[in-house]
Amino acid sequence: MKIGELSKRTGVSIRMLRYYEAEGLLKPRRAASGYRDYDTAEERTVERIKLLGSGGMTLATIRQFLPCVRGEGPVFEPCDELRTVLHEQIRLADQKAEKLAQSRRILRHFLLEIEQP
């Protein structure tokens, strides 16, 4: 699958697909022409990156647990470290969610304030 098709399938711009690669998150095969050739595993990877990214995660961070993102199954070497990173990221996500909720509360507070004269 060429980059244009992957872009349409995932909704991720061609620009960003190339950027993912530059950041080391994708390594598509290359055709003789030099064109990138993605397989379906890579499509799934892109979907995961998209979701993690929309949660406010940096590509550099995502790269930390790339084996998971790639779905390469159980990891040997960095498994412990990986677990630590994952726990930390979950903690950060919770923290972020709390901030968001707090922010939302303020907005609702404002709303009540101006809706009750």
Partner DNA sequence: CTTGACTCTGACAGCGTTGTCACAGTTTAA
Partner DNA sequence: TTAAACTGTGACAACGCTGTCAGAGTCAAG
Interface residues with DNA (CB under 7 A)?
A: 2-5, 7, 13-16, 18-19, 23, 31-36, 53, 57-60
Tokens, residue 45? 């990877």
Q: How far is the CB of 22 from a second copy (least distance, A)?
A: 22
Partner whose binding site includes residue 52, from a second copy, DNA, none (CB under 5 to 8 Å by kind): a second copy
Query: What is the spatial distance between Cα 58 and Cα 19, in angstroms, rounded to a whole number?
Result: 13
Binds 14: which of DNA, a second copy, none (CB < 5-8 Å by kind) = DNA
Asked whether 82 and 65 are in contact (CB, 8 A), the reply is yes
Containing H/E element for 37? strand 36-37
Please give the backbone phi and psi of residue 29, each rounded to the nearest 5 degrees, phi first: -65, 165
CB of 2 to a second copy, least distance (A): 27
Q: What's the gap between Cα 87 and its chain centre?
A: 16
Q: Which two tokens stand for residue 95?
A: 């923290």
- Evaluate whether 20 touches 26 at the Cβ level (below 8 Å): yes
Q: Closest distance between a second copy and the C-beta of residue 62, in Å?
A: 10
Q: Binding residues for a second copy, per CB under 8 A?
A: 48, 51-52, 54-57, 65, 68-69, 73-75, 79, 82-83, 86-87, 89-90, 93-94, 96-97, 99-104, 106-108, 110-111, 113-115, 117
Taking the complex as a whole, the smallest distance from the CB of residue 88 to a second copy amounts, in Å, to 10
